[in-house]
Each structure stands twice: as C-alpha cells, then as structure tokens.
Structure 1
C-alpha cells in the first residue's frame, strides 16, 4: 500500500523532474468570449502509480515541507508558458495556485518579482490563486498578499459564495478576483441563484472580478452570465491541456 511517507519520498525526487508538469485551463471573458487567462494546474505522473490526484499532491507537499519547492516549480512552469503566449501575440494572464504555507516565506513576493523580470513578463499578468479561502485570516499571509499587490500581481480567492467569508471584509482584503465554485454554479436555481447574484454584486461593489468555475454545459454558461460573472472556466470552455497554445480562442456559442 502506498503511504504518505512513500509519496513524500517520491515527490522529493520528482519535484525537479519531468514527472511534475503543468496543464492549463483557459478562462474566457463573458463580455467578449475571448481567452483572457489560463490557470496552471499541477500534475504528477508517477512512474509506478500513474497520475496522482492533485489534491493528494498538495496535501503531501504541505505535510512534508516540499510545498515551497513544488510551488516554485509551478511558478516557473506558468512563467514559461506565459512567456510563450506573449511572444506569439497572446497577452493572457496566468493563474498559479499558491498554498498559504508558501506565503509564510517572507521572500515570496520578492521571488515572484524576480521571476517576472527573468522571464520578461509583466507582474500585472500574474494571478496568484490561493488554495484555501481561510488564508486571509493569517497576518503573515496578508502581509505577503499586500506585497504582491504593491508590485502589481493579482490575487484570486476561491470558494466565494459558500459563506465562509463575511462580505464586509471584501473591500479590506488585498484581492483582485473571487471564484465561485463549480458546484454552486451548476446547482444554482431559484433562491440559490438570487443569493449568488447578490454575492456577485457585493464582489463587484468591492471592485473585484468574479470568475465562474466548473462551467460544463451551455446551461452552466447561461447561469454564469445571469449571475453577472466576468469570466468563466470549465470543461465547456476547454479541459486542462498540456498544449499551451490553445488553438481557438472563443467561448462556445
């Protein structure tokens, strides 16, 4: 039986090699239908056990202390892809998932700024997407998020609309974007739809962009539009893909 300790040992050896790689899932503007960003998602293809579930990878990395090395690897992957997009006339932003544990490193924002310069991409085209919405309660994490905002990096908060974040906090947090989970988008109807629409309005009043995740059908896309979301992401738009060129750039009609 494969244990967490076994996985941690294997991950330590894999984190700098080809077993770890990124796939990219685009986001489209619901106003224009064009791709405007793509989220870099971590994948681990274990030589003996095949694809390891992404949540397991993050859990093992956090418990073992490998999250910093893994996080820097994923930032590098995202910057590499973004540099290629920009060179080929696709000025898309890249969203990279960041664990709150990475933000306990006081040099995180400085490292991000240095990597942006090294890869020749503007800091304003990077979106740091937190992997936990509770992270904003930590003063150390908040300090790093503010430092990222000061250099122009955008910050995205997941899990919006689930009620864990008091709406009055939104204007005081160093955020650029909130993301509505796919399960809420896909189940929205009746009172739930009205409640989510109100949550989107609150986010907009705070000056934040709203992304609908998990858009899998045209009905889900219609819900995202009805909610007033700014962007959509999901299998209907395009599944995660290692191909970073994304032939075709529009949302489904």
Structure 2
C-alpha cells in the first residue's frame, strides 16, 4: 500500500494495482469583503466508509451561519451529495468569539462499494451558502437551495440519472412543507430542471421531453384494482395504497 496526496493505491500479486482510498480536498473561498473561508475534504474508501471533514474560520466583525456541500459526480450518471451546517462568530459576539468551526463526519454507504469503479474517478465540487446574523433560513429554503445546487454544481447532462444523499443533514429535506410542481410536495423545479425528492434520492424527471411544470404534471391515487395487480409482482411488500401516487413523469432514461 502507498499513500499519495489524493488517496491510496495498493498492489497484490493476484489483483494487481487497485485504488483503496480517494481523498479530494478543496479550499472554500468567499468574495472580497466576506471574512469567511476555510477548506473541505471528502474521503471515500473502497469498503464503503467515507469521511467528510472541513474547517471554516471567521476573521471579521460579523457572525455567519453557513452550509458546505460536497458532491462527486461520475460519468455513469450518478452523484453523491453530502452537507454540513454550522455557525462561526466574529468580533460582534464579544471578547471571545468562536471563530472556528471544524467537523469530521464519518459513516458508511453501501452505494460507495457498489459504485466504486466509477466513483474513484469522480469529480468533486464544493459549494457554500452563508448569511450574516446566523440566518440561512428554515428547512424550506434549505430544500430549494439544495435543488439549485444540484442544477448548478452537479453535472446533470443527458446521462445523469440519480443523485444520492449521504450523511445526516440531507435526509430531512422531504420533511419541509414545500408544495412542489403540480401540487406534489416532493417534486421541485428550478433553473429548468425538475427533481423528485426522497430522503435519500433526487431523481431528475420530465413530462415527455419537457421540464415539469404546473400545467403539465398530472397525478392521482392508485386504485384498489391497480394496487391488487401490482401486488402480484411485489408480493405484499408495497407501502399502503394511499402512499402511492401515479404520475405522468418520466426519468431514468424513460
């Protein structure tokens, strides 16, 4: 095994060379006049373990609340997204402001193991959101901000299929009281793209080849007969019928 700046490469007589760890590091830079900066790093391991760590520092007068997001997009149409929120204080908070915020979040994702052949060559993007006075907004604004981030920072070309949320923070996004496109709470649209959200997934969706809009999206509950027919395939594993919504949305290559 040999450690390098951006990861670890191993070699065995049987396997030959292989990538064991991928470590991607980025500086966090804000515009002139904003006394906030630092770095973030995402480390992925072949066994599915990952670490999202970073550091933010407030060198000025104002307090800031922030969100740092990291995403790894692959050319196979999949991306991982993780987020960390926190607060740093400036001189306005008194003689001993808490100017530094450090985090080191560690967890495991089976998906990393399954998608390792493409993830190890993925591209890391880091984005930040921050506001003065420690007010970034409630959960609804976080959801909309996450969706905009997916459009702007995550490569969503024709092959892009699914965005997977990892970590503790993004699992709460579907608890927001947001009425989405067509009246479906989990369907949000921004910047010409629409996403169907769940606690762990964001799936780009369309109506035919068009972006979803209020006028185009149709949905209805599943009938008793349809539910019984579907259970022939799913054999009792379906959620309750009232939790299933049929739509005219398409995604995942049609």
TM-score (norm 2): 0.29
Higher relative contact order (CA 8 A, sep 6+): 1
Q: Going by fraction, where is helix more abundant, 1 or 2? A: 1
TM-score (norm 1): 0.29
Q: Going by fraction, where is strand more abundant, 1 or 2? A: 2
